[in-house]
């Protein structure tokens, strides 16, 4: 089955094509599992002598349980096929999960960063290119689910002539050579600050980092961002000490969320929903201070915890 939906096809043809594939697969599984269930003997229909032999050699209860699980699997496959046919029949477009792509050179601890913000357990080693396949997991932010993708390390040279040297100049050259970042929410992250803080770089390296920051800021501006986003374009963290890890995750999720909201605001359906929303912003009056009301029990609990 192809993994990419053909853009040139009418959606009704695509629906029919994939509905047929789902039904065909379900029928094949149903026939094979039904054959297994029907051809195995039923204990109530065989001679008691053979039933006793089966019980001695295998166990009647396990035998019945195994056939029951096969029958349950057959029914589950039928339900799954029915649900997917319904989704294909009435779905107008495929759901696109908000994806957070971790892009870095080899030995940049991208896998360890993914382990920190998700429940994944990606293997990583002190040497480069230990990640040899795609790893996908999910993280939550503001009650929304985000997909995190870890890919093998990007080779630090243009695709014409490949070379592997882990220095800032090569990383900057790679950043400027990859054009696929255009029109995508982008955040630059300086990892391993436990080994080398950003403010401890040489003047030449700092200039390269600032050039990448300026280029990333241009991309943000092209996407409709504001100059206030400048501080959120370049972040620092350490996967070892976990310093700044959550800040990077929150900034990336917030950038994706802003992009999704902006796309929805530009859609045609938004006009049908805007008249249902009203955001009330109370204005201060009477020159009175109205501090946050915290219950006394909460204050006492915090005091005990601090003590």
Whose tokens are 């400048």? That residue is 230
Considering the domain architecture, whether residues 159 and 16 belong to the same structural domain is answered as: no
Number of structural domains the chain divides into: 2
Cα separation, 106 vs 102, whole angstroms:
12
Cα separation, 118 vs 158, whole angstroms:
31
pTM score, whole prediction: 0.47
End-of-domain residue from the set 90, 113, 145: 90
Considering the domain architecture, whether residues 38 and 132 belong to the same structural domain is answered as: no
Contact 218, 243 (CB under 8 A): no
pLDDT beyond 60 at 93: no
Cα separation, 290 vs 174, whole angstroms:
53
Q: What pLDDT is recorded for position 104?
A: 59
Q: Which two tokens stand for residue 106?
A: 């080899």
Q: Which two tokens stand for residue 236?
A: 């620092």
Considering the domain architecture, whether residues 55 and 75 belong to the same structural domain is answered as: yes
SS3 234: strand
φ, ψ at 163 (rounded to 5°):
-155, 155
Domain that holds residue 173: 99-266
Band (pLDDT 50/70/90 cuts) for residue 54 is: confident
SS3 69: helix
Considering the domain architecture, whether residues 75 and 220 belong to the same structural domain is answered as: no
Please write the tens of the pLDDT for every residue from 197-244.
878 888 888 888 888 888 777 776 666 555 445 567 788 888 888 888
Cα separation, 115 vs 118, whole angstroms:
5
């Amino acid at each position: 089955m192809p993994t990419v939906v053909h853009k040139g096809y009418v959606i009704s043809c695509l629906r029919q094509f994939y509905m047929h594939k789902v039904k065909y697969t379900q029928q094949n599984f149903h026939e094979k599992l039904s054959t297994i269930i029907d051809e195995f003997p039923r204990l109530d229909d065989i001679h008691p002598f053979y039933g006793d032999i089966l019980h001695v050699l295998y166990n009647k209860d396990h035998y019945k349980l195994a056939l029951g699980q096969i029958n349950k699997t057959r029914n589950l496959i039928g339900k799954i096929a029915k649900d997917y046919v319904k989704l294909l029949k009435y779905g107008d477009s495929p759901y696109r999960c908000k994806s957070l792509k971790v892009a870095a050179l080899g030995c940049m601890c991208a896998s360890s960063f993914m382990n920190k913000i998700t429940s994944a357990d990606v293997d990583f080693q002190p040497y480069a290119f230990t990640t040899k396949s795609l790893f996908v997991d999910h993280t939550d932010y503001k009650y929304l689910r985000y997909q995190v993708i870890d890919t093998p390390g990007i080779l630090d040279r243009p695709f014409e002539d490949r070379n592997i040297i882990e220095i800032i100049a090569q990383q900057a050259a790679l950043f400027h050579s990859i054009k696929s970042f255009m029109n995508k929410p982008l955040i630059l992250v300086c990892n391993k600050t436990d080994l080398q803080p950003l403010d401890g770089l040489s003047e030449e390296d700092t200039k390269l980092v600032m050039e990448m920051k300026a280029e990333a800021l241009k991309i943000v501006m092209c996407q409709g961002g504001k100059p206030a986003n400048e501080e959120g374009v370049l972040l620092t963290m350490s996967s070892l000490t976990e310093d700044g890890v959550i800040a990077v995750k929150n900034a990336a999720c917030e950038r994706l969320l802003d992009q999704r909201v902006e796309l929805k605001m530009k859609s045609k359906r938004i006009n049908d929903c805007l008249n249902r929303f009203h955001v009330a912003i109370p204005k201060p009056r009477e020159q009175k201070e109205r501090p946050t009301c915290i219950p006394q029990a909460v204050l006492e609990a915090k005091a005990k915890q601090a003590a």
